[in-house]
Structure 1
Amino acid sequence: MLSIAKYAAIDIGSNAVRLLISDVIEQGGQPPKFKKSSLVRVPIRLGADVFLNKKISAENEKRMIDTMTAFKLLMRSHNVFKYKACATSAMREADNGVAISNLIKEQTGIQIDIINGEVEAAIIAATDLHSFIDENKTYLYVDVGGGSTEFTVIHLGKEIASKSAKIGTVRLLNDMVEEKTWNKLKDWIEKHTSKYDKIELIGSGGNINKIFKISGKAFGEPLTYFYLSAFYKMLQRHSYEERIVELNLKQDRADVIIPATRIYLSAMKWSNAKHIYVPKIGLSDGIIKSIYQETIPSLVL
């Protein structure tokens, strides 16, 4: 007996807002299959408001309402059964984040949960990350966002330590990360990785996914520190306009990709990792899995 249900995840980040719609396919006692049906990304960049002014602007408030209205219509058109909307760093730190969340629910019917870094990490852990992990190895998992970056040390298949650092691409673009914040992160990474002889990085986030695509590597193959370092230098040689025209990067990707690459390279350097694996998973994928597994509350559309 074949059963197909559509679930949707809304990820409200500091750089962009995403809607992922997935088919969950069940058949005769076999493990469920998760097949992406639609992905929509809107570059609202809430962090540019919040990290500078502590609040979301009236313009972006309107854009958020328009986006959530469109997302609801898309979910309805796709015949989505259940959905979950999660907001991270920018909405969490905005003085008017809760008020805007309430306004969105009132005007669109979409309920948004503003989650902390620990919940975000737990949702990402619900993805297929385990299928990319060799339980005989040690990894540093790095999920770069616009407002924060989540770090998790995984040893022999088990989570050993985790940290959420306020170092993100939008913060770095606005020169809002102090040297002492970098030093604290460096100390944390060295403390939790130096005891292991060999460590690999696992990177997630839109920027590392784009870099991996540009590399032409086959899925499952890692990028080397040498390649990422050379790519970083190449990006810096190009102007913002050249990155859009010559490197074919989207307007809202062409600036954040440089600070994102810096974060990955720093994590590799401080952990002595020579390779970074890119499984192309993120918060949206984790939300879908968590809805299905009923480890987080969801809403029927």
Structure 2
Amino acid sequence: MIIRKLAAIDIGSNAVRLLVHNVIEHEDKPPAFKKSALIRVPVRLGEDSFTKGEISENSLQRLIKTMKSFDLLMDIYGVEKYMATATSALREARNGDEVVAAVLQESGIGIEIIDGKKEAAIIASTDLKELIKKDRAYLYVDVGGGSTEFTIFSSGELKVSKSFKIGTVRILEDLVEEELWDVVQDWISANLKGETKVEIIGSGGNINKLHKMSGRKIGQPLSYIWLNAQYHFLNSMEYEDRISELGLNQDRADVIIPAAKIFLSAAKWSGAKKIHVPKIGLADGMIKTLYYQEN
């Protein structure tokens, strides 16, 4: 038996995450992937990128400190290989390339800025196929701070995928025009035309948190009815009360509401009544991509 350690760094618009995986290799058996550690730091790059068009010096320094700490942690965990990607916040920042260069110089960590198409492809390389049944269609919804990736599976196969600039931080900053919601609705309706049985697979920290708050067991889906009621309950509370009474983190207590709105909209437009929450996403896909690139 050989245990290898791989890491994924996901630099999103709301937070930066380090995921460490143990990959257990046995002779004549497929490799087993086990999460070893997940560290999340609320460096909200999207607030700069989406409102000012560039990453501020303060945010850059916070990102550099985060990357330095991740470099040390990967060394402690014995990580042999890592992959670091940045999505919409750095993709849209005028100084995105300069930020990547500064992080590399200060921390030694190389970051790849990926587009929505590659982001969706990496997500699709996760263990989603284990959940997907051939007798129904699935709308995979990965909600981030700056964008949401929608992927449709039909008859057990990936049919189409698209990224839209609707994300939780962008909504909070009032940067999503009403027309874009209509565009997303039309895209979902057109690509699910003729499908009579549709279910949603949700990804991202907010839907994971909502699933935990529901008290449902791992593998048990959320219902549209429950999510709709929870959305209105959360929306009726003050921001401070969501922190003090519900125990939500400061950087979760605001974005969880627009995230719920995105999932509810997707469910309404697709006709889905169930939302599966497998708790896998971009970082998990990065681990698989990293492993199979060399095997």
TM-score range (shorter-chain normalised) is over 0.9
Instruction: Verify the 8 A CA contact 2:15 2:41 in the aligned structure 1.
Output: yes
Instruction: Verify the 8 A CA contact 1:148 1:167 in the aligned structure 2.
Output: yes
CA distance in structure 1 between the partners assigned to 2:292 and 2:237 by the alignment = 45
| Cross-structure match for 1:206 | 205
| Cross-structure match for 1:268 | 267
CA distance in structure 1 between the partners assigned to 2:39 and 2:24 by the alignment = 21
Using the TM superposition, name which of 286-295 and 249-258 deviates more: 286-295
| Cross-structure match for 1:241 | 240
Q: TM (normalized to structure 2)? A: 0.98
Indicate yes or no: 2:96 matched with 1:97: yes
Write out aligned runs for 1:149-168 (5 A). 149-168=148-167
Q: Which secondary structure does the structure 2 equivalent of 1:253 belong to?
A: helix
| Letter aligned with residue 77 of structure 2 | H
In the alignment, structure 1 segments of 5+ residues that lack a partner are 297-301
Write out aligned runs for 1:52-71 (5 A). 52-71=51-70
CA distance in structure 1 between the partners assigned to 2:141 and 2:273 by the alignment = 14
1:51 CA displacement? 0.3
CA distance in structure 1 between the partners assigned to 2:69 and 2:189 by the alignment = 45
Equivalent pairs counted in the alignment come to: 295
1:194 CA displacement? 3.0
Q: Which secondary structure does the structure 1 equivalent of 2:253 belong to?
A: coil
Instruction: Verify the 8 A CA contact 1:207 1:257 in the aligned structure 2.
Output: yes
Using the TM superposition, name which of 259-268 and 126-135 deviates more: 126-135
CA distance in structure 2 between the partners assigned to 1:188 and 1:60 by the alignment = 35
CA distance in structure 1 between the partners assigned to 2:107 and 2:276 by the alignment = 39
1:135 CA displacement? 2.0
| Letter aligned with residue 25 of structure 2 | E
| Cross-structure match for 2:19 | 20
CA distance in structure 2 between the partners assigned to 1:221 and 1:281 by the alignment = 15
Identity within the alignment, %: 56
CA distance in structure 2 between the partners assigned to 1:82 and 1:44 by the alignment = 24
| Cross-structure match for 1:48 | 47
| Letter aligned with residue 244 of structure 1 | I
CA distance in structure 1 between the partners assigned to 2:215 and 2:150 by the alignment = 26
Q: Which secondary structure does the structure 1 equivalent of 2:250 belong to?
A: coil
CA RMSD of aligned residues (A): 1.1
1:160 CA displacement? 1.3
1:293 CA displacement? 0.5
CA distance in structure 1 between the partners assigned to 2:217 and 2:94 by the alignment = 44
1:295 CA displacement? 7.4
| Cross-structure match for 2:174 | 175
Instruction: Verify the 8 A CA contact 2:198 2:272 in the aligned structure 1.
Output: yes
Indicate yes or no: 2:7 matched with 1:8: yes
Indicate yes or no: 2:121 matched with 1:122: yes
| Cross-structure match for 1:292 | 291
Instruction: Verify the 8 A CA contact 1:140 1:201 in the aligned structure 2.
Output: yes
Instruction: Verify the 8 A CA contact 2:224 2:267 in the aligned structure 1.
Output: yes
CA distance in structure 2 between the partners assigned to 1:140 and 1:75 by the alignment = 34
Instruction: Verify the 8 A CA contact 1:4 1:23 in the aligned structure 2.
Output: yes
Q: Deviations over 1:85-119 (max 9, x none)?
A: 00000000000010110111111110000000111
Indicate yes or no: 2:132 matched with 1:133: yes
1:193 CA displacement? 1.5
CA distance in structure 2 between the partners assigned to 1:134 and 1:286 by the alignment = 20
CA distance in structure 1 between the partners assigned to 2:55 and 2:144 by the alignment = 18
| Letter aligned with residue 273 of structure 1 | A
CA distance in structure 2 between the partners assigned to 1:72 and 1:83 by the alignment = 10
Q: Which secondary structure does the structure 1 equivalent of 2:160 belong to?
A: strand
| Cross-structure match for 2:222 | 223
Instruction: Verify the 8 A CA contact 1:19 1:39 in the aligned structure 2.
Output: yes
Instruction: Verify the 8 A CA contact 2:120 2:162 in the aligned structure 1.
Output: no
Instruction: Verify the 8 A CA contact 2:136 2:195 in the aligned structure 1.
Output: no
CA distance in structure 1 between the partners assigned to 2:26 and 2:161 by the alignment = 36
Using the TM superposition, name which of 210-219 and 4-13 deviates more: 210-219
Instruction: Verify the 8 A CA contact 1:194 1:271 in the aligned structure 2.
Output: no
| Cross-structure match for 2:30 | 31
| Cross-structure match for 1:299 | none
Write out the 4+ residue segments of structure 1 that deviate beyond 4 Å after TM superposition: none
| Cross-structure match for 2:192 | 193
CA distance in structure 1 between the partners assigned to 2:284 and 2:12 by the alignment = 14
Q: Which secondary structure does the structure 2 equivalent of 1:134 belong to?
A: coil
| Letter aligned with residue 11 of structure 1 | D
Q: Which secondary structure does the structure 1 equivalent of 2:252 belong to?
A: coil
CA distance in structure 2 between the partners assigned to 1:127 and 1:161 by the alignment = 16
